[in-house]
Structure 1
């Protein structure tokens, strides 16, 4: 995925997913998001008695004059702030499995797009990748447009490998204790109990799961002939492939099992108050941005 090929698309996707939080954020650096702290300027919030907010510079003369009790009123403002978005990419071996799409490249594209969106918001961004039981903190928090390409290229340079969730748990444990924005990009080839453990580890943060799905890996291709037939099957967790003989019942059972697993994972997400932003084969920019806006806290 060269920058010449996907540069304009990467920038456009980043601009499309610029975020606005509904909840106030606790940062102290001036930025684009609603903050928890009061300031001399910013977004007007309300009026308060001067005893509750003793700042005569913000005196509202009009409201003070008409107050029936003669209590001076002052204006209160909300100081806009910034956040740090931590992009976490699950690069376990299953992400190397390819069918209708290259999910490794999709993960790289999305990592770069979130770095671009952070730059557009004035926010900082950081990148970490998990390789099964291993964790790599690839890029520390920072700012700058050059991070868009750096995030993408870093994810592309790492070969998906490993199994397990220890890497993801280690990344979660290393995050700042203060609530921050975390984007988890994964193919979600996890047991429901493992997904629940991962969500619990990120529970104190504003977590956005991005679920990379491949339609071809969720179907069974037996060629053009009638069943029974020969199909190349991939283990979703390891990415290994094997040729197997399939009858109609086995195909139906395999498809039903995959559908049941997706339903179980959705149920785990819902039980933790999370909704995944799903990417099936390719990024549909408008739909992606709409879902992202809905799931942001």
Structure 2
């Protein structure tokens, strides 16, 4: 079901992949790509299909010359998914269900382009049965993501973030970090340092019901999703405005931090559209 509804998006990497596996991106390895790298003698690179007659006639040592090209290569795409209690927040739909849709979209895009996909889920720690290393097995990807639909673990925080960031492989890739980013700024910064070798795309899940569509007047219940504690609150316009201002300040904090790491967050409300990621990459490559 998840595989059928996953929508791919356009993406492109701004670096040359060091992967030895043939793919769709410019690579650093020599092979049968389209980007010229250098001339070598036929003895050093015995591939007669790349014979360059003109260069051979020019060679003062009278050696047969062949063209060597960069091989197009694969790149890994990682979906790091926060599954702590705050991701159980239910507005129009559950935050974690939106996270599932995003992860499935990343998986579909990676597999459609012949790239590698990895899922890393964390709350207080990395969750082994919801985590797997980069691979090209589409069935495994969607089957693992589908398990998130049944994930309902209360009263757990997101302290496993640093472990999750450390689980990402060393080969440079695209890291789609899916979270509501309610953890301390210092923890987020530490994770960004651990991910410095990669291009990180933060996807911030803030449902309008959290801070925009609060009751204007009257009693209501607020619940801390990390602890489960509830508190009765008398809502009034001033309190509603205070919530909006807190989220606005938080957004400024996050945007400033991400800018320091040369990235920009994508804010997702109560629905996900794959087109937002396509436009994100088109803007980056412009």
Q: TM > 0.5 between the two?
A: yes
- Residue 86 (structure 1) aligns with: 78
- Residue 116 (structure 1) aligns with: 108
- Residue 144 (structure 2) aligns with: 151
Is contact 1:165–1:194 with CA below 8 Å preserved after alignment?
no
1:19 aligns with 2:11: yes
Is contact 1:279–1:288 with CA below 8 Å preserved after alignment?
no
Is contact 1:59–1:74 with CA below 8 Å preserved after alignment?
yes
Separation in 1, partners of 2:207, 2:66? 57
Separation in 2, partners of 1:295, 1:209? 14
User: How many aligned positions are there?
Assistant: 280
Q: TM-score, normalised by structure 2?
A: 0.84
- Structure 1 unaligned blocks of 5 or more: none
* Counterparts of residues 46-61 of structure 1 (less than 5 Å): 46=37, 48-50=38-40, 54-55=44-45, 57=48, 58-61=50-53
Structure 2 residue corresponding to 1:9, chosen from 5, 19, 22: 5
- Residue 275 (structure 2) aligns with: 286
Provide, for residues 135-167 of structure 1, a one-character-per-residue CA deviation record: whole Å limited to 9, x for no partner.
113242332332353133122232244554431
Provide, for residues 69-93 of structure 1, a one-character-per-residue CA deviation record: whole Å limited to 9, x for no partner.
x998642311111223222110111
- Residue 245 (structure 1) aligns with: 234
Structure 2 residue corresponding to 1:270, chosen from 235, 239, 259: 259
Provide, for residues 201-251 of structure 1, a one-character-per-residue CA deviation record: whole Å limited to 9, x for no partner.
22222322222121111225225xxx4x32443436556553311333333
Q: TM-score, normalised by structure 1?
A: 0.81
Provide, for residues 170-222 of structure 1, a one-character-per-residue CA deviation record: whole Å limited to 9, x for no partner.
12223323323322111111222222122122222232222212111122522
Separation in 2, partners of 1:8, 1:152? 13
- Residue 213 (structure 1) aligns with: 206
- Structure 2 unaligned blocks of 5 or more: none
Is contact 2:75–2:172 with CA below 8 Å preserved after alignment?
no
- Residue 120 (structure 2) aligns with: 128
* Counterparts of residues 57-68 of structure 1 (less than 5 Å): 57=48, 58-63=50-55, 65=57
Q: CA RMSD in A?
A: 3.0
Separation in 2, partners of 1:44, 1:7? 34
1:195 aligns with 2:188: yes
Structure 2 residue corresponding to 1:177, chosen from 170, 176, 179: 170
- Residue 168 (structure 1) aligns with: 161
- Residue 43 (structure 1) aligns with: 34
- Residue 95 (structure 1) aligns with: 87
